[in-house]
Amino acid sequence: MGVSFDKADGSLWLNFDVQPKADATSDADRADKLKDPGFGRVFTDHMAIVRYSAGKGWHSARVESRANFPLDPATAVLHYAQEIFEGLKAYRREDGGVNLFRPDANARRFRNSADRMAMAPVPEAVFIEAVEQLVQIDRAWIPGGEGSLYIRPFMIANEVFLGVKPSSEYIFAVIASPVGSYFKGGPAPVSIWVSENYTRAAVGGTGAVKCGGNYAASLRAQAEAIERGCDQVVFLDPNEHRNVEELGGMNVFFVFEDGSLSTPPLGTILPGITRDSIIALAREAGKTVREEAYSIDQWRADAASGKLKEAFACGTAAVISPIGKVCSAKGDFTINGGAAGDVAMGLRKKLVDIQYGRAADTHNWIKKVL
Ligand code: PLP
Ligand code: COI
């Protein structure tokens, strides 16, 4: 049973009861699964799990064999989607150690998501400890080279009750999946479909937090993108369907001929940790970065005039992926002749070099786990 106590600074701490899986995957089977993992279909042997009950708080912290959750058919999350999640990665360094990238930022965003969804906040120290415990026990699953271990913390409302109200019970869990590239073809330029009928988030809604419902609501538009032969959907603002917001699972940046960059402002979009890191890296390199609205019409006009040099998508799963082509009901256009641009690829290299420990971590973004 996980033991909880308060640390000297008042933050809640939980001791995880670690129960290694008895019949863990063999080295040969794991090596086979790590050959070409793709994204999100291969999973490690363990999970971290912590439970919450009103009156008792967070308790029963465990690291155990990855297994099904038994859920009563009336469990709240199955009906009213009170669910949040996070995404971060562990990277294998050349010296054999392991880096996490900005786990504190994910822990903070998870707390904000919990707040918006009226869920019990997971103490940031507990979030990070759960992630570290899982990475340690499943470290053999971290691919070498440019692969990484995608870590998925999530929380579900676990009360068995059909009334519409915040649940009095939650399960916080962390699972992990060794991954290669999110897009087939790695950082090759992607094509995106402009969704003019569906919006992702409204002012006052849940666009700025990472709840499963946002993704459920995006799937119809994403399916439309695939039907049009595109990789991803890009959403416009909910009021006028004019300004670019973000992709289904990524933020977006624009690069102009004067060397400056712009990205849509925060509000109804997810405050991406990659977005924030790119802003810092670009400014550090002397570039101007504006957080300002940019309309789809301006995007089309700037691509045609040559004022816009590059566009790219970014996120934990996608890293930095150049956007080569934009398709919409009003016609298609290409960016940079459909090729990956130097600014996108330069920023990508800077970012991944820090993540893999090949470049100095001057921002204190890296947490060494091993
Ligand atoms: N926007 C959406 C909708 C996302 O799902 C993601 C991915 O998590 C991002 C942006 C990028 O966020 P981050 O860089 O923190 O992964
Ligand atoms: C991420 O990049 O972590 C995401 O959540 C994107 C997608 C896999 C949902």
Q: What is the DSSP string of 315-343?
A: ETTTEEEEEEEEE-TT--EESGGGSPPHH
> Ligand 2 mean position to 145 CA, how many Å?
21
Domain with CATH 3.30.470.10 in the chain: 2-179
Q: By alpha-carbon position, which residue is closest to atom 3 of ligand 2?
A: 87
Q: How confident is the model at residue 1, as a pLDDT?
A: 44
Ligand 2 nearest atom to the CA of residue 317, by list position: 2
- Report percent pLDDT > 70 for the chain: 95
Confidence (pLDDT) at 7: 61
336: pLDDT confidence band, cut at 50, 70 and 90? very high
Distance CA 340, CA 344 (A): 7
- Measuring CA to CA, which residue among 277, 235, 279, 232 is closest to residue 255? 279
Residue range(s) in the chain whose domain bears CATH number 3.20.10.10: 190-355
Residue 5 above 80 pLDDT?
A: no
Q: Whose CA is nearest to atom 1 of ligand 1?
A: 250
Q: Which atom of ligand 2 is nearest to the CA of 315?
A: 2
CATH code of the domain made up of 2-179? 3.30.470.10
Q: How far is the CA of 209 from the centre of ligand 1 (A)?
A: 10
- Over residues 91-101, the mean pLDDT reads 96
Q: Give yes or no for residue 6 having a pLDDT over 70.
A: no
| pTM, rounded to two decimals | 0.96
pLDDT digits (tens, 9 = 90+) for 254-313: 999 999 999 999 999 999 999 999 999 999 999 999 999 999 999 999 999 999 999 999
pLDDT at 322: 96
pLDDT category, 8, cuts 50, 70, 90?
A: low
> Hey, which residues does 81 pair with through a beta bridge?
none
The pLDDT value recorded for residue 186 is: 57
**What does the alpha-carbon distance between residue 119 and residue 84 come to, in Å, rounded to a whole number?**
9
Task: Provide the sign of the torsion angle of the four alpha carbons 238, 240, 241, 247, taken in this order.
Answer: negative
pLDDT digits (tens, 9 = 90+) for 161-219: 999 999 999 999 999 999 987 666 557 899 999 999 999 999 999 999 999 999 999 99
CATH 3.20.10.10 describes domain 190-355: yes
Contacts of 247 (CB under 8 A, 6+ apart): 192, 232, 233, 234, 235, 313
Query: What pLDDT, in 10s, does the model give residues 34-46?
Result: 998 999 999 999 9
Ligand 1 center–CA 316 separation, angstroms: 6
Q: How much of the chain is helix, strand and coil, in % rounded to 5?
A: 25, 30, 45
**pLDDT given at position 145:** 86
359 Cα–ligand 1 center, Å:
24
